[in-house]
Homo-oligomer: A and B are copies of this chain.
C-alpha cells in the first residue's frame, strides 16, 4: 500500500494540503555517516519553483529527522522517521473544486474507492508525495556511494517546454536513468528481477506511461544475431568479466551482470488546468472546473529527481537483501 521495498522499506504518509508529509525508512543499515547538506541538495533539485518552467509553489521543504541517528549523524540501524511540513497551504487556490471531479485527476477513482471526496484525500495522488521519496532516496544514495554505486538521471526534451508554458499548455517528456558500479548479483530471479522492480518503481511515479531498459522497445524489432553481449575478461580485475556490448542493459535473468543499467521513463503531460474543463460533481451534476491551481508545464523536469530517488530506493533495497 504505502510501503516501498522489502529490506529497506519506505512507508509514507501525508496529503498535499494537510499539515505535513513524511515517512519512515526502516531497515536502513547502521553506521552510515549522513551528510544532511547533501540531503537538502537532493530536495532542492526536486523542489518546485526552483527551476524555469516548474510550478511556482515555493516551499522550502525542510525535512526534520525524528529518529535513527546519533548526535554525529551516524545511523543507528533503527527506523528513520522524518516529516516535511506543508508551509504553503494556499487551499484558497482550490476553491471551487470541493465535490467536483477534476478531469484526468484521481478525484473520481479515489471517491469511488474510498467513498469520500475531500481535497486532502485526493492529496495522496499529489506530486507533493514525492518529497518523502526524495528524502528516502537521498539517504540511500549516501549508503550506496560507500559501495561505489551511483544513480543519475537527466531530462530529455520532446516538445518546447517554453512554448507549451506560454500557451497555457503542458507537454510530456522523457527521463533517462543510469546506474553504475553495481556488483554482479543484484536482483532476484523469477518475480523479483532487477528490471521488474525498477519498472514498478518508475511506473509508480505520477504521469509515467512507459518504461524501457537496455535496448528497450527497439529490441522488439531487432534480430537475435544483432543483440548478443559477449563476455570478456576485465583487464583491471583479474578473474572478473565485462561484456563487449550492453544490449541487455546490465541485467541477465533479472540479475545485474556488472555493466551499467540504463533505462528511460516516459512521462505524459500534466492534465492542463489553464482552461475551463467540463466535468461532474459527486451529486451527478455537470460542472465546469475553473482554470486555477499551480501546475508544471512539464512534470518530467522535476521528475528527474524523483526517478533518481526511486532508483536509489530500489537498488538499495535489493543490495540490502543480498547475502
A253 surroundings in chain B (CB, below 8 A): 105-106, 109-110, 122, 125
Is the pair B14, A67 in contact by a Cβ cutoff of 8 Å? Answer: yes
Q: Which residue of B lies closest to A210 (CB)?
A: B212
A316 surroundings in chain B (CB, below 8 A): none
Is the pair B76, A269 in contact by a Cβ cutoff of 8 Å? Answer: no
Write the nearest CB–CB distance from A167 to chain B, whole angstroms. Answer: 8
A212 surroundings in chain B (CB, below 8 A): 209-211, 217, 266
- Within 8 Å by CB of A108, from B74, B191, B220, B252, lies B252
Is the pair B27, A1 in contact by a Cβ cutoff of 8 Å? Answer: yes
Q: Which residue of B lies closest to A82 (CB)?
A: B13
Given that A76-B15, A79-B11, A213-B209 are contacting pairs, would A70 and B118 also be in contact in the complex, using a CB cutoff of 8 Å?
A: yes
A87 surroundings in chain B (CB, below 8 A): none
Write the nearest CB–CB distance from A78 to chain B, whole angstroms. Answer: 5
Protomer copies: 4
Is the pair B254, A78 in contact by a Cβ cutoff of 8 Å? Answer: no
Q: Which residue of B lies closest to A320 (CB)?
A: B323
Contact bitstring A8-43, B, C-beta under 8 A = 1, else 0: 010111110011111110110111000000000000
Is the pair A210, B217 in contact by a Cβ cutoff of 8 Å? Answer: yes
Is the pair B278, A79 in contact by a Cβ cutoff of 8 Å? Answer: no
Is the pair A219, B255 in contact by a Cβ cutoff of 8 Å? Answer: no
Q: Which residue of B lies closest to A205 (CB)?
A: B196
A192 vs B55: C-alpha distance when bound (angstroms): 26
> 27 pairs across A/B with beta carbons < 8 Å?
A1-B189, A1-B190, A1-B191, A2-B191, A11-B11, A11-B26, A13-B24, A13-B79, A14-B79, A18-B66, A18-B67, A22-B66, A70-B118, A70-B120, A78-B121, A113-B185, A159-B222, A170-B224, A170-B225, A171-B224, A190-B204, A193-B203, A196-B201, A203-B211, A219-B266, A219-B268, A224-B271
